[in-house]
Amino acid sequence: MKKWTTDSNRWKRRAAAVSLIVPAKKGLFLDTVFRIATALLEDTDDLVQKGYGWMLKEASIPHQEAVFDFVLDHKTVMPRTALRYAIEKMPEQHRREAMAK
């Protein structure tokens, strides 16, 4: 899947992230989730951004603090679209902190 993150096809890049949604929701493969998100971090395609943001959101269910820390570490380069998806299920205080400039 890591190889898909550099493909010219937007759907392959998005698939690199969305294929991990079900395992991420179960708390599996957190390191892989972060590697894929990092590889796609500055992708300019909005569907790719939504895809990896969704993956992070689902990973935040079992690993809220780890995903929150990831978002804070990368929020200066993470597109707002991906950031908003990633923090959607977090507590209000976390969402406010992540959205602060």
Q: What is the pLDDT of residues 67-92, one digit of tens each?
A: 999 999 999 999 999 999 999 999 99
Q: How many CB atoms lie within 10 A of CB 18?
A: 19
Pull the structure tokens for residue 67: 């995903």
Q: Give 3-state DSSP helix, strand, coil % of the chain, rounded to 5.
A: 70, 0, 30
Query: Which domains are assigned to the chain?
Result: 2-99 (1.25.10.90)
Question: The whole model's pTM is what?
Answer: 0.96
Q: How many CB atoms lie within 10 A of CB 44?
A: 8
Reported as a single tens digit per residue, the pLDDT across 12-70 is 999 999 999 999 999 999 999 999 999 999 999 999 999 999 999 999 999 999 999 99
64 within 8 A of 100, measured Cβ to Cβ: no
